[in-house]
Structure 1
């Protein structure tokens, strides 16, 4: 039997506070860490597919070397973001967070370039 909620037991709606800048930066660093680690795996998977296809067609692709460089950049971003999460000094942590973010975005843009290059090679 459906009953209406008791007004006395309800908690009043309190406005939620904005998250602090420190919380947002740590949250972004955690996301960069997890996504860059995942993208290292994605690059290595595509590299494995290239190697398997090369065995079938005996054609070497320049995209393989580009993927290795991109995987390395994602790995660097992952290591920097992990280091930023572990370090206690705020100034150094902010520098590491910013560097990890910059390397991550460069690697992401490079991945888009590599995808275009691979599509061009496959045509």
Structure 2
């Protein structure tokens, strides 16, 4: 691989890490906001739902993704950058899937009540 190709690949890797970092940080905020709304619903209905606990776990997944992608942006070693990028990418997709499962669970639970 030529030097120019390596530089272009590194630039693309940095772009991916930047996008994962920004999206993960935003999703942490979304999870925290929904937990707050959930607590209001629980207080009004006087009924506890497991959704807020699952959202807290989901926020931790997104936080781990944000930390890994930030670390990938800050590292100088190309091999470590690729590994961190792959792990944060996979963890972000797991977080998105978990978000969908929690959203379905919340909708299903609220509909049944």
User: Structure 1-normalised TM-score?
Assistant: 0.82
Give how far 1:40 is off: 0.1
Report the structure number with the largest CA radius of gyration.
Answer: 1
Unaligned runs of 5+ in 2: none
Do residues 68 (structure 1) and 52 (structure 2) align?
A: no
Q: Larger relative CO (CA 8 A, sep 6+): 1 or 2?
A: 2
How much is the aligned-residue C-alpha RMSD, in angstroms?
1.4
Give the count of matched residue pairs: 106
Do residues 102 (structure 1) and 94 (structure 2) align?
A: no
Give how far 1:32 is off: 0.3
Structure 2 contact 21–66 (Cα < 8 Å) conserved: yes
User: Structure 2-normalised TM-score?
Assistant: 0.89
Q: Distance in 2 between matches of 1:109 and 1:100?
A: 14
Q: Which has the higher helix share?
A: 2
Do residues 38 (structure 1) and 26 (structure 2) align?
A: yes
